[in-house]
Amino acid sequence: SLLGDAMLVESILQRLRTRTGAPVQEPLAAPLAAVRCLQRDSPDELVRLTGAGLGDCFWRLVREPRLPPEEAAAALRVGDRVVLTGAYATLGHAAKGPLRPGDVGQIVKIDKGTVPLQVKVGEKSFWYREGALRRYRSVPARVLQWRGQFRHPYIASGKMVDLRIDLDGEAGETRGRWHMSDEGPPKLRGADVRVERSGDSVTLHVDSGDMRLLGSQDEFGNMHGEVLHLNHRAGRFFLFPASDDATVRCPRGHATTRMHGLMRRSCTCDVCSKSIERDEPLYFTC
C-alpha cells in the first residue's frame, strides 16, 4: 500500500539500512524501481503494465517508444487492408497473431482500448496495438507513368541507365514517350513507345533505335525482364509505377514500402531493415 508514495517508502528503507546495515536486496527494491520508472516523464517513451506470461497477481512494466503520428490508429479505418510494420514484434502480442510478415489483413473493428485494432486474416482475427500495423498501399488501377532502370551491353558500356515512361492518357495505356538519361545514345533519350500486353506478359516497343523490353508485370504493378537491342537479347530492366506509395515485396515475401525513389537506387525492406545499394538496383536483397 505504501507504493503509492515511493519517496516515503524509500526514505523509510534508507533509515533502516543506515541503522541495520542491511544490503540493498529487499523484496521492495524491484517494485520501487518500477515506480520510479513509471513516474519519469519521457517525451519519447510510453509505459505499459502487462501480466502476459506471468502467474496470477504478477505484473510487469514495459517501456515502449512513442508512436510517430503516421502510425497512429487514427490514420487507419475499418475496411483498410494492413500489413505489419517493422516494429511489430515489440508492440504487445503482435508477433503471436495470425498476420505474418508479407501477409495482408483487413481491419474489421476499431476500439478505444490499448489494443484497438481488430484485424481479420483469412478465417482468424486478432487485436493489435497502435503502431504494429500500417495501411497496405497498392498500385493504382491505372498507371500512366513508370520509372526504373535497364542495362544492355551495347548501351553505356553495360552500365545501369535511368529510364522514365510517360503513357498518353487519351490513348489509354498503349502509347507514350520514352525518356532515357544522358548515358544512353541520343536517339534513345526521347522517343515514342508502344505497349503490348498479353496476360502478365508486357512488351515495350521503342519506335527508334531498334529497342524492345520483354518482360512481365507482377501483382504490384512492377515490370521486369530482358532487353532486346540490335537483335541482341541481354541485360535486364525494372520499371515500377512512379507513385512513391506503391507496395512491393522483398525476396523473403515481406510486404514493404519503397523508402526512396528508385532513381536513387536505394530501397529498404520494412521488416528486414535491409537496403539495396547503388550497385544492386534491380532487386531487394534481404
Domains along the chain with CATH numbers: 2-65 (no CATH), 69-135 (2.30.30), 145-240 (2.40.128)
| Cα dihedral 77/82/86/87 (nearest 10) | 50
Adjacent-strand bridge partners of 193: 176, 206
Give the max Cα distance, the chain. 94
Nearest Cα to Cα of residue 62 among 76, 75, 52: 52
Tens digit of each residue's pLDDT, the chain (286 residues): 344 445 555 566 666 666 656 555 555 565 556 555 555 544 444 454 444 444 455 455 545 444 444 444 447 888 888 888 777 888 888 888 998 876 788 899 988 888 889 999 888 999 999 888 887 765 455 677 888 888 899 888 888 888 888 887 665 568 888 888 777 777 778 888 888 888 778 888 887 767 889 988 776 677 889 999 888 888 888 887 776 444 445 555 555 444 333 444 445 555 666 554 433 333 333 3
Question: How many beta carbons lie within 10 A of that of residue 248, not counting itself?
Answer: 19
SS3 of residue 219 by DSSP: coil
Cα–Cα separations (whole angstroms), residue 64 to 44, 69, 76, 85, 90: 9, 15, 21, 15, 8
Residues 260, 64, 29: CA angle, nearest 5 degrees: 155
Q: How many CA atoms lie within 13 A of 123 on its CB side?
A: 0
Q: What are phi and psi of 31, to 5 degrees?
A: -60, -35
